[in-house]
Amino acid sequence: MWRRLSRLAAKSGSGTLSTTRIGWRNFGNGVPSEKMSIMFELRDHAGSLPHALKFFSSNDISLTRIESRPVPTASNNFKFYVDFNGDPNDPNVIKLVKELKNKCVDVRVTDSKEVPWFPSRAEEADSLSKNIIGSDTGELEADHPGFHDPVYKKRRAEIAKIALDYKYGDEIPRVDYTDQEIECWQSIYQKLIPLYEKHACEEFNAIWPLVEKNCGYSATSIPQLADISKYVKARTGFILRPVAGLLSARDFLYGLAFRIFFCTQYVRHHSKPLYTPEPDVAHEVMGHAPMFAVQEFADFSHQFGLLSIGASDEQIDRIARCYWYTVEFGVVQQQNARKAYGAGLLSSFGELQYMASDEPEFIDWDPNVAAKEPYPITKYQPKYFVAKSFEDAQNKLIEFAERIERPFNVTYDKSGKLHVDSNIVQEPKL
């Protein structure tokens, strides 16, 4: 078990992540025009929306954006989010709000508010990768198997420096792994391979031979992130990026928004080859990397990143729990059996066998439930969320995302940039 998400409590590229805010824009005449946002709820019947929109035109108010969402608690109602340029003290705006309140179930003019800083370009992943929790010099927690091993700690610091010196767009440096590290890797590899056919999901078993063949996997060779990243990028657009250690929930999820997966390159301590309290290269390349070469899974993971952009701390906690119960420890129902797709399972022969038993509790995948569910980090999971399919997992995550209030919509383009549709204000970068 390990702690990547121990500090964590994740719509597609064109999907909606949120709604409204008030901000300021300056136009050519130098007079500030306030960008206002309003939400109104209507019962779904013929002509209800056109009738409401007439209030805007009759008050000489031009819309800059409109978006609709169903109301989960009222199946026949819809919420409409509208942006327009105006002044809250303008008589026409006051009249508009009054008319809408007389016609609609609910009307709210949103308040201006800052959102946490977030990167807008993939290159900014360099700054995210520097925010290591604890230490980036090889220092370990007291309960770590290598805590009293100065040679291991020195080696960790050497490998950490590779990640800290790396810049976005560079080729990932190769690590010359020692005989001891390869021996540790071999113990893990040989334990896991026989379990995949029976306990791993169909998508993993379909991609595994290709990843193994094209990326240098073998019992006597630890594959290099550079080779895996090239292969994965060609298939799904995701890339791997070296990182020196644990990142915060926010920084880690932000990387996913740019289709970047932060990966460690160090090997767990040789004294306990079948245990690690943190993610190591075996966890990354056995558990995560093959699934990122599967398009449906890569897109699913990308959604977690987009959902995290500008999210509040409380929202990050909820997203992180959903990530934990899917990307890390997700289970899917296939061929009348439960199969693993989460990396924490696919990289742990002990937990993979435990998941296949009747001992843990199995719950239908529901992000609204998972978002509130705490989890242990030092023992096997007492419960797993089971999706009917990857499509089921993704659709439910989209529904979950639509219920999270956001002050903007965000989209990602293949050039590595995020675009937001509102004039938002970001808090200073910490």
Q: Point out the annotated binding site.
A: 283, 288, 328
pLDDT of residue 403: 85
Please report the pLDDT score of residue 28 as a whole number.
31
Q: pLDDT at residue 66 above 70? A: yes
CATH of the domain at 226: 1.10.800.10
End-to-end CA distance of the chain: 30
- Residues within the annotated binding site for Fe cation? 283, 288, 328
> What CATH number has the domain bearing residue 84?
3.30.70.260
- Rounded mean pLDDT of 403-415? 83
- Look at residue 147 and tell me if it is in a domain: yes
Residues 160 and 250 in one domain: yes
Q: What is the structure's pLDDT at 302?
A: 96
Do 173 and 88 fall within a single domain? no
d(CA 238, CA 259): 5
Q: Within this chain, do residues 290 and 405 fall inside the same structural domain, yes or no?
A: yes
Tell whether the model's pLDDT for residue 191 goes beyond 70: yes
Q: Which of 111, 132, 162 is the last residue of a domain?
A: 111
How confident is the model over 46-55, as pLDDT tens digits?
888 999 999 9
Q: Tens of pLDDT along 124-165? A: 989 999 999 876 555 788 888 888 899 999 999 999 999 999
Decide if 26 is inside a domain.
Answer: no
**pLDDT tens readout for residues 69-103:** 777 666 788 888 888 888 888 899 999 999 999 98
Confidence at residue 167, expressed as pLDDT on a 0 to 100 scale: 97
Rounded Cα gap, residues 100 and 430, in angstroms: 41
- State yes or no: pLDDT of 423 exceeds 70: no
Considering the candidates 308, 347, 348, 422, report the single residue annotated as catalytic.
347
328 classed as catalytic: yes
Tell how far CA 330 is from the center of its chain.
14
Q: How confident is the model at residue 3 (pLDDT cuts 50, 70, 90)?
A: very low
Catalytic residue among 34, 284, 328, 351: 328
Q: Which residues of 36-70 are buried (b: 16+ CB within 10 A; e: fewer)?
A: bbbbbbbeeeeebbeebeebbeebebeeeeebebe
Q: What is the pTM assigned to this prediction?
A: 0.78
The answer on 210 and 78 residing in a single domain is no
Domain extent for 189: 122-420
Q: Are residues 347 and 261 in the same domain?
A: yes
Residue 17 has what pLDDT?
Answer: 30
Residues 137 and 281 occupy one common structural domain: yes
Amino acid 16: pLDDT: 30
Considering the domain boundaries, does residue 14 fall inside one? no
Q: How many domains does the chain have?
A: 2
Residue 342 scores a pLDDT above 90: yes
For this structure, is 283 an active site residue?
yes
